[in-house]
Amino acid sequence: MAYPIVAAHGIHKHFGQLHVLKGVDLEVEERELVFVIGPSGSGKSTLLRCLNRLEEPSSGSITVAGIDMLSPRTDINHARQHIGMVFQSFNLYPHMTALGNVMLALRKVAGKSRSEAEDIAQAALERVGLADRAHHRPAELSGGQQQRVAIARAIALEPRVMLFDEPTSALDPELVGSVLAVMRSLRESGMTMIVVSHEMGFARAAADRVVFMDHGLIVEQGPPAQIFETPAHERTRAFIGQIRQH
Protein backbone atom coordinates (compact mmCIF):
# COMPACT_ATOMS: atom_id res chain seq x y z
CA MET A 1 0.00 0.00 0.00
CA ALA A 2 1.26 3.44 -0.95
CA TYR A 3 1.86 5.93 1.82
CA PRO A 4 -0.89 8.51 2.19
CA ILE A 5 0.01 11.78 0.47
CA VAL A 6 -2.68 13.53 2.50
CA ALA A 7 -3.20 12.52 6.11
CA ALA A 8 -5.59 14.52 8.26
CA HIS A 9 -6.33 13.30 11.76
CA GLY A 10 -8.73 14.47 14.43
CA ILE A 11 -9.63 17.67 12.63
CA HIS A 12 -11.89 19.97 14.61
CA LYS A 13 -13.03 23.38 13.45
CA HIS A 14 -15.05 25.89 15.42
CA PHE A 15 -16.47 29.10 14.00
CA GLY A 16 -17.33 30.88 17.23
CA GLN A 17 -20.12 28.79 18.78
CA LEU A 18 -20.46 26.68 15.66
CA HIS A 19 -18.70 23.30 15.72
CA VAL A 20 -18.28 22.60 12.00
CA LEU A 21 -15.79 19.72 12.03
CA LYS A 22 -15.99 17.28 14.91
CA GLY A 23 -12.94 15.11 14.61
CA VAL A 24 -12.48 14.14 10.97
CA ASP A 25 -9.88 11.58 9.83
CA LEU A 26 -9.06 11.42 6.15
CA GLU A 27 -6.18 9.72 4.39
CA VAL A 28 -5.67 9.94 0.65
CA GLU A 29 -3.15 7.91 -1.27
CA GLU A 30 -1.10 9.06 -4.20
CA ARG A 31 -3.02 8.98 -7.52
CA GLU A 32 -6.28 8.45 -5.69
CA LEU A 33 -9.42 10.40 -6.55
CA VAL A 34 -11.56 10.91 -3.48
CA PHE A 35 -15.02 12.37 -3.78
CA VAL A 36 -16.53 14.11 -0.77
CA ILE A 37 -20.31 14.41 -0.70
CA GLY A 38 -22.80 15.52 1.90
CA PRO A 39 -25.59 17.99 2.59
CA SER A 40 -24.74 21.68 2.73
CA GLY A 41 -23.38 22.60 6.12
CA SER A 42 -21.93 19.12 6.59
CA GLY A 43 -18.42 20.58 6.73
CA LYS A 44 -17.04 19.18 3.47
CA SER A 45 -15.83 22.51 2.07
CA THR A 46 -14.39 23.48 5.44
CA LEU A 47 -12.47 20.21 5.55
CA LEU A 48 -11.04 20.88 2.10
CA ARG A 49 -10.07 24.42 3.08
CA CYS A 50 -8.36 23.16 6.21
CA LEU A 51 -6.08 20.94 4.14
CA ASN A 52 -4.22 23.95 2.66
CA ARG A 53 -4.94 26.06 5.74
CA LEU A 54 -7.17 28.61 4.05
CA GLU A 55 -9.12 27.73 7.17
CA GLU A 56 -7.17 27.26 10.38
CA PRO A 57 -8.25 24.00 12.06
CA SER A 58 -9.00 24.38 15.78
CA SER A 59 -7.16 21.13 16.47
CA GLY A 60 -5.84 18.03 14.75
CA SER A 61 -2.91 17.20 12.49
CA ILE A 62 -2.49 17.52 8.74
CA THR A 63 0.36 16.19 6.63
CA VAL A 64 0.49 16.81 2.90
CA ALA A 65 3.31 15.36 0.78
CA GLY A 66 5.31 14.85 3.95
CA ILE A 67 4.90 18.45 5.12
CA ASP A 68 3.40 19.07 8.55
CA MET A 69 0.91 21.73 7.51
CA LEU A 70 0.09 22.92 11.03
CA SER A 71 3.63 23.26 12.35
CA PRO A 72 4.60 26.86 13.06
CA ARG A 73 7.96 26.08 11.46
CA THR A 74 6.34 25.24 8.12
CA ASP A 75 6.55 27.94 5.46
CA ILE A 76 2.88 27.83 4.51
CA ASN A 77 3.38 29.76 1.26
CA HIS A 78 5.97 27.26 0.14
CA ALA A 79 3.80 24.31 1.20
CA ARG A 80 0.79 25.62 -0.69
CA GLN A 81 2.64 25.28 -3.99
CA HIS A 82 2.20 21.52 -3.58
CA ILE A 83 -1.57 21.81 -3.10
CA GLY A 84 -3.57 23.22 -5.99
CA MET A 85 -7.06 24.49 -5.33
CA VAL A 86 -10.01 25.19 -7.59
CA PHE A 87 -12.95 27.19 -6.27
CA GLN A 88 -16.66 27.25 -6.98
CA SER A 89 -16.53 30.87 -8.15
CA PHE A 90 -13.32 30.51 -10.24
CA ASN A 91 -11.71 33.52 -8.53
CA LEU A 92 -9.60 34.54 -11.50
CA TYR A 93 -7.79 37.88 -11.34
CA PRO A 94 -9.97 40.05 -13.63
CA HIS A 95 -7.24 42.61 -14.36
CA MET A 96 -4.96 40.02 -15.93
CA THR A 97 -5.20 37.89 -19.04
CA ALA A 98 -5.64 34.12 -18.79
CA LEU A 99 -1.89 33.77 -19.32
CA GLY A 100 -1.18 36.40 -16.67
CA ASN A 101 -3.38 34.54 -14.20
CA VAL A 102 -1.39 31.36 -14.70
CA MET A 103 2.00 33.08 -14.77
CA LEU A 104 1.75 35.10 -11.56
CA ALA A 105 2.57 32.40 -9.01
CA LEU A 106 5.11 30.83 -11.37
CA ARG A 107 6.97 34.13 -11.35
CA LYS A 108 6.48 35.25 -7.77
CA VAL A 109 6.32 31.98 -5.86
CA ALA A 110 8.21 29.45 -7.97
CA GLY A 111 10.71 32.14 -9.01
CA LYS A 112 10.68 31.32 -12.73
CA SER A 113 11.97 33.77 -15.29
CA ARG A 114 9.41 35.54 -17.45
CA SER A 115 10.02 33.40 -20.54
CA GLU A 116 10.12 30.18 -18.55
CA ALA A 117 6.88 31.08 -16.73
CA GLU A 118 5.26 31.99 -20.04
CA ASP A 119 6.18 28.62 -21.56
CA ILE A 120 4.86 26.69 -18.57
CA ALA A 121 1.68 28.79 -18.43
CA GLN A 122 1.06 28.36 -22.14
CA ALA A 123 1.51 24.59 -21.78
CA ALA A 124 -0.91 24.53 -18.83
CA LEU A 125 -3.52 26.43 -20.85
CA GLU A 126 -2.96 23.94 -23.66
CA ARG A 127 -3.71 21.09 -21.25
CA VAL A 128 -7.10 22.59 -20.41
CA GLY A 129 -7.80 23.26 -24.08
CA LEU A 130 -7.49 27.04 -23.93
CA ALA A 131 -4.19 27.77 -25.68
CA ASP A 132 -6.02 30.11 -28.04
CA ARG A 133 -7.54 32.10 -25.17
CA ALA A 134 -4.24 32.96 -23.47
CA HIS A 135 -4.55 36.67 -24.12
CA HIS A 136 -8.20 37.03 -23.16
CA ARG A 137 -9.34 38.60 -19.90
CA PRO A 138 -11.61 36.55 -17.64
CA ALA A 139 -14.58 38.79 -18.52
CA GLU A 140 -14.21 37.68 -22.15
CA LEU A 141 -14.42 33.99 -21.25
CA SER A 142 -17.39 31.75 -20.48
CA GLY A 143 -17.78 30.32 -16.99
CA GLY A 144 -16.49 26.95 -18.15
CA GLN A 145 -13.46 28.54 -19.76
CA GLN A 146 -12.78 30.61 -16.64
CA GLN A 147 -12.87 27.50 -14.49
CA ARG A 148 -10.45 25.77 -16.86
CA VAL A 149 -8.08 28.74 -16.60
CA ALA A 150 -8.36 28.39 -12.81
CA ILE A 151 -7.40 24.72 -13.15
CA ALA A 152 -4.46 25.69 -15.38
CA ARG A 153 -3.37 28.26 -12.78
CA ALA A 154 -3.27 25.51 -10.14
CA ILE A 155 -1.66 22.70 -12.18
CA ALA A 156 1.03 24.98 -13.63
CA LEU A 157 2.75 24.84 -10.24
CA GLU A 158 2.87 21.02 -10.52
CA PRO A 159 1.08 20.34 -7.24
CA ARG A 160 1.14 16.91 -5.62
CA VAL A 161 -2.55 17.17 -4.76
CA MET A 162 -5.46 19.06 -6.29
CA LEU A 163 -8.44 20.21 -4.22
CA PHE A 164 -11.70 20.96 -6.02
CA ASP A 165 -14.34 22.85 -4.04
CA GLU A 166 -17.62 22.44 -5.95
CA PRO A 167 -15.90 23.23 -9.27
CA THR A 168 -19.04 22.96 -11.40
CA SER A 169 -21.72 24.33 -9.07
CA ALA A 170 -21.60 27.86 -10.48
CA LEU A 171 -21.70 26.73 -14.11
CA ASP A 172 -24.59 26.58 -16.55
CA PRO A 173 -25.39 22.92 -17.20
CA GLU A 174 -24.08 23.00 -20.78
CA LEU A 175 -20.64 24.16 -19.56
CA VAL A 176 -20.18 21.51 -16.87
CA GLY A 177 -18.99 18.87 -19.34
CA SER A 178 -15.91 20.80 -20.48
CA VAL A 179 -14.68 21.20 -16.88
CA LEU A 180 -15.35 17.56 -16.03
CA ALA A 181 -13.45 16.53 -19.17
CA VAL A 182 -10.40 18.44 -17.96
CA MET A 183 -10.72 16.86 -14.52
CA ARG A 184 -10.95 13.43 -16.11
CA SER A 185 -7.78 14.01 -18.13
CA LEU A 186 -6.02 15.19 -14.96
CA ARG A 187 -7.17 12.00 -13.30
CA GLU A 188 -5.78 9.95 -16.18
CA SER A 189 -2.42 11.69 -15.84
CA GLY A 190 -2.28 10.34 -12.27
CA MET A 191 -3.06 13.49 -10.30
CA THR A 192 -4.18 12.95 -6.72
CA MET A 193 -7.51 14.70 -6.35
CA ILE A 194 -9.96 15.49 -3.57
CA VAL A 195 -13.24 16.70 -4.99
CA VAL A 196 -16.20 18.22 -3.17
CA SER A 197 -19.05 18.05 -5.65
CA HIS A 198 -22.56 16.87 -6.39
CA GLU A 199 -21.62 15.49 -9.83
CA MET A 200 -22.67 11.94 -9.03
CA GLY A 201 -22.19 10.74 -12.60
CA PHE A 202 -18.60 11.87 -12.53
CA ALA A 203 -18.08 10.34 -9.10
CA ARG A 204 -19.41 7.02 -10.29
CA ALA A 205 -17.21 7.06 -13.39
CA ALA A 206 -13.97 8.42 -12.01
CA ALA A 207 -13.78 8.25 -8.21
CA ASP A 208 -11.83 5.58 -6.36
CA ARG A 209 -13.61 6.36 -3.17
CA VAL A 210 -16.63 8.33 -2.06
CA VAL A 211 -16.71 9.91 1.39
CA PHE A 212 -20.08 10.89 2.84
CA MET A 213 -20.04 13.63 5.45
CA ASP A 214 -22.82 14.90 7.67
CA HIS A 215 -22.84 17.21 10.69
CA GLY A 216 -19.08 17.61 10.72
CA LEU A 217 -18.24 13.92 10.65
CA ILE A 218 -17.47 11.27 8.06
CA VAL A 219 -20.47 8.95 8.21
CA GLU A 220 -19.18 6.33 5.81
CA GLN A 221 -16.88 5.85 2.87
CA GLY A 222 -16.16 3.29 0.19
CA PRO A 223 -16.10 2.63 -3.55
CA PRO A 224 -18.72 4.61 -5.47
CA ALA A 225 -20.84 1.57 -6.28
CA GLN A 226 -21.07 0.65 -2.61
CA ILE A 227 -21.93 4.16 -1.41
CA PHE A 228 -24.45 4.82 -4.16
CA GLU A 229 -26.07 1.37 -4.36
CA THR A 230 -25.77 -0.17 -0.92
CA PRO A 231 -25.05 2.54 1.64
CA ALA A 232 -24.77 1.20 5.17
CA HIS A 233 -26.20 4.23 6.96
CA GLU A 234 -29.68 5.60 6.90
CA ARG A 235 -28.42 9.19 6.55
CA THR A 236 -26.34 8.25 3.50
CA ARG A 237 -29.33 6.53 1.94
CA ALA A 238 -31.54 9.56 2.54
CA PHE A 239 -28.96 11.92 1.02
CA ILE A 240 -28.35 9.76 -2.06
CA GLY A 241 -32.11 9.48 -2.50
CA GLN A 242 -32.51 13.27 -2.42
CA ILE A 243 -29.71 13.79 -4.92
CA ARG A 244 -31.24 11.22 -7.28
CA GLN A 245 -34.53 13.11 -7.42
CA HIS A 246 -32.80 16.14 -8.97
Partner 1 sequence: MEEIVQSFFNAEIAEAAMPIVLAGLLNTILLSLLVVPLGFLGGLILAVLAQVRNPAVRWPLMAWVDFFRAFPPLVLLVLLFAGLPFAGVELGGFACVAIAFFLNTGAYYGEILRAGIESIPHGQVEAARSTGLSGLQTMTYIVLPQAVRNVLPDLLSNTLEVVKLTSLGSVVAVPELLFQARQAQSVTFNATPIVMAAVIYFLILWPVVRLLSRLENRAAAGRG
Span near partner 1 by CB under 8 A; candidates 14-22, 101-109, 120-128, 184-192: 101-109
Radius of gyration over every alpha carbon of the chain, rounded to an integer in angstroms: 18
Q: Which residues pair with 64 in a beta bridge?
A: 6, 67
Exposure letters 82-101 (e unless 16+ CB within 10 A, then b): bbbbbbbebebeeeebbbbb
For 166, residues 6+ apart whose C-beta sits below 8 A from its C-beta are 45, 88, 196, 197, 198
**Which stretch in 59-67, 80-88, 206-214, 231-239 sits in contact with partner 1 by CB under 8 A?**
80-88
User: Which region among 30-38, 81-89, 117-125, 186-194 touches partner 1 (by CB under 8 A)?
Assistant: 81-89
**104 interacts with partner 1 by CB under 8 A:** yes
DSSP state of 3: P
191 sits near partner 1 (criterion: CB under 8 A): no
User: Amino acid identity, residue 104?
Assistant: L
Footprint (CB under 8 A) of partner 1, residues 35-74: 52, 54
Select the residue interacting with partner 1 from 61, 74, 91, 226 (CB under 8 A): 91
Q: Which of 150, 194, 203, 211 binds partner 1 (CB under 8 A)?
A: 150
User: What phi, psi does 29 have (nearest 5°)?
Assistant: -90, 165
Contact residues: partner 1, CB under 8 A = 52, 54, 77-81, 83-85, 87, 89, 91-95, 104-105, 108-110, 150, 153-154, 157
